[in-house]
Amino acid sequence: MKKIFTKKLWLVTLLFSATNLLNAQQLLVQNFNFSGNVSANGWIAHSGAATNAIATTTGLTYTGLPVSGIGNAALVSNLSGEDDNITFTNQTTDGQSVYFSCMVNVTEVSTTKSGDYFLHIGSGGGASFTTFAARVFVKTTATGINFGISNTATPTYGTTNFALNTTYLLIVKYTISVAGNDPVSLWIIPSGVPASEAAAGTPELVNTTTAGQNTISAIALRQGSSTTSVQTVVDGLVVGLTWSDVTTGGTLPIFLQYLNGQKTSTGIALNWKVTCLSTNIVMEMERAADSRNFIPVTTIEATQARCNLPFDFTDALPLKGKNYYRLKMRDIDGKISYSPVVLIINGSKGIEFVGLYPSMVKNETALSISSARATTIETKITDINGRLIKTGKQTIPTGSSLITINCTNLAPGIYNLTGIAEDATAKTIRFVKL
């Protein structure tokens, strides 16, 4: 029987490292500088919620790219499941181009995947996101991979055979055309960071025969059918209005150092600290009962000097039971970033199995739990056929806890982790051992 270790977290504390400055035309920079599911860290599930959720994995590096080597990356699985999006400032001007770039590394083992799209932009965003554009496809071949592009679900694939397990710089240009089809171009750069479109040379693909959307306001990660989708790692995702925005820019001018929360006699006390490179920021503390439908509970405006000091807020009228909080931060240019979500239980009893981070596991994973009181948790790991692999039992304190599980000796495959509390509350979460 393998030992399951417990890390006790008396407060929900999230730490982030400092990065670079945001250029004026960047709309979004996402370095996945957190651990766990992306839907618990500012992204919103719009399809397949909670099924094989997209989680973080080891980050990617690409020489010369400013966002290289920062934080983790997102692992878009080949199992089908949850799709997630994150929004940015609406772009509606006829003729305006929207660019997005990322590091991409395809880690699929099957050579017979017919292909599906894993990344796209679109109109709207949020939980009902259904209008897409600039869909990026990938498929496997006998000797490598091909990338594709389209505004619709029918792709055009390029002929270049790219290598598996290799990090490339992916750049997409989409131009809003109110009266007709919306041109979209795809570059896959094997090395170096071209200073301009001209320097990048001929795109791998140009698609001018499909219509997209007249409003662009969100970008999404997608997990398609398990028979067609290709396992892919995405990192350093940047959205902007020019080529240089998505190739030479940095990260948001506001970054969170920590966010703490705990239940007190007067409500739920929250405190946080940010570092601000913008002259002025607006922060909204948002709350939800379900981790998705957030509403603001307080708004704070601060100068750059004020950001040198911690902030605090007490939610005097919290919801009964589960309270999910996140911080929405907006800089002087209107660029928005979100903190990860924290869960506080308001009550004398109650327990929540928050999630398993990551769900694509190399060596270890952690079961996140929030409990209104100290309790004992039993854990069971079973394989896809229901065979019991190992069990454990741990006592956790009031507040939030992480039970770290060593998976080094598990054979690659699909497993289920079940957590069972003393009051019989239970949750089963699927994970994949890589």
> Which residue ranges does the chain devote to CATH 2.60.40.10?
258-346
Nearest CA-CA partner of 235 in 432, 376, 372, 65: 65
Spatial neighbors of 338 by CB under 8 A, at least 6 apart, are 41, 42, 86, 326, 327, 328, 329
Asked if pLDDT for residue 3 goes beyond 50, the answer is: no
Average pLDDT over residues 40-56: 92
Instruction: Cis check for the bond before 358: say yes or no (omega within 30 of 0).
Output: yes
Average pLDDT over residues 36-48: 92
Global pTM value: 0.61
Spatial neighbors of 309 by CB under 8 A, at least 6 apart, are none
pLDDT tens figures, 204-214: 999 999 999 99
> Which residue ranges does the chain devote to CATH 2.60.120.200?
23-247
**In this structure, which CATH number among 3.30.310.80, 2.120.10.30, 2.60.40.2550, 3.40.630.30 belongs to the domain 351-433?**
2.60.40.2550
Average pLDDT over residues 314-331: 89
Complete DSSP assignment for 159-212: S--BPTT-EEEEEEEEE--TTS---EEEEEESSS--SSHHHH-S-SEEE-SS--
Beta strands (DSSP E) in 194-294 are 205-207, 216-221, 232-240, 254-264, 267-276, 280-288
Query: How far is 189 from 168, CA to CA, in rounded Å?
Result: 6
Phi-psi region of 417 (alpha: psi -120 to 50; beta: other; left: phi over 0): beta
Q: Which of 54-58, 227-231, 261-265 is least confident?
A: 261-265
> Which residue ranges does the chain devote to CATH 2.60.40.2550?
351-433
Confidence band, pLDDT 50/70/90 cuts, at residue 13:
very low
Q: Which of 55-64, 85-94, 325-334 is least confident?
A: 325-334
pLDDT of res. 14: 33
Nearest CA-CA partner of 113 in 78, 74, 158, 148: 78
pLDDT of res. 70: 85
pLDDT tens figures, 363-397: 888 888 888 888 899 999 999 889 999 999 999 88
Asked if pLDDT for residue 102 goes beyond 50, the answer is: yes
Query: For the domain bounded by 23-247, which CATH number is listed?
Result: 2.60.120.200
Contact, 115 vs 147, CB < 8 A?
A: no
Query: How far is 300 from 317, CA to CA, in rounded Å?
Result: 18
Query: How far is 183 from 97, CA to CA, in rounded Å?
Result: 9
Architecture of domain 258-346: Sandwich (2.60)
> What DSSP character marks residue 318?
P
In percent, how much of the chain has pLDDT > 90? Answer: 52
